Structure 1
Amino acid sequence: MKKSYCPIDTFINVVKGKRKGTIILHLYQGDKRYSELVKLLPDISERMLTKQLKELETDGIINRTVFPEVPPRVEYSLTKLGREIHPVLKGMFKGGILFEKSIDGFEE
């Protein structure tokens, strides 16, 4: 995580990326295994999902827990910081719905 000139830019730089916000919103509802996240996010490749998960872990937003089993089981969960940013992402979600409605209004 790198500081920007403005805290808004710092926040956006951390959560921007292919479906990072959606990943955080899903993990807010509970810990998820990698295979669950693959099913919840069918519009991105597994390679991209892995990349986004690693970036979120590096930025301290999510935890990755590997269980010593055969085959290995991996679960992802939100850190305290990840849970704290949830209200902001939820607000962005609601804002996105407003924008989508306005786009639909222009298309009619």
Structure 2
Amino acid sequence: MRKEFPACPVEITLQLMGNKWKVLIIRDLLEGTRRFGELKKSIGSITQKVLTQNLREMEESGLLTRKVYPEVPPKVEYTLTKTGYSLKPILDSMYAWGTDYKDKLSS
């Protein structure tokens, strides 16, 4: 079954990046593989339920992979896929714009 996409490519990108949590997850995973607890600690105010939900959605979208190690307690690692990593230029642009905006308002 083919997935239906919006006609506008910008809307497709927004659907995948979705919300501030997904952007922050991508930001953290751009630095490399992270465990669930590392992501939760880095992002800070996100709840476990919301982090889990966003990670699942991102995995279903093909932005990241989830690797579970058969240990007690379970060890789970998340890594960006090539598609997920291809969002780096967008985040770099957001970073540059945010820095410039902050500097203008602070002057």
TM-score range, shorter chain: 0.7 to 0.9
Match of 1:22 among 21, 24, 35: 24
Percent identity between matched residues is: 35
Shift of the alpha carbon at 1:103?
Answer: 4.5
* 1:77 partner amino acid: T
CA 2–48 in structure 1, closer or farther in 2 if over 3 Å, else same = farther
CA 39–71 in structure 1, closer or farther in 2 if over 3 Å, else same = same
Normalising by the residue count of structure 2, what TM-score does the alignment of the two structures yield? 0.87
- Structure 1, gaps ≥5 residues long: none
Counterpart residue number, 1:13: 15
Separation in 1, partners of 2:61, 2:79: 13
- Structure 2, gaps ≥5 residues long: none
Normalising by the residue count of structure 1, what TM-score does the alignment of the two structures yield? 0.86
Does the CA-based 8 Å contact 1:17-1:52 persist in structure 2?
Answer: no
Does the CA-based 8 Å contact 1:67-1:73 persist in structure 2?
Answer: yes
- Cα displacement string for residues 51-100 of structure 1 (whole angstroms, at most 9, x for unaligned residues): 11111111100101001112110000000101111111211122222333
- Cα displacement string for residues 23-73 of structure 1 (whole angstroms, at most 9, x for unaligned residues): 111101010000101110112111111111111111100101001112110
The count of corresponding residues between Structure 1 and Structure 2 is 105
CA 30–2 in structure 1, closer or farther in 2 if over 3 Å, else same = farther
Counterpart residue number, 1:70: 72
* 2:24 partner amino acid: T
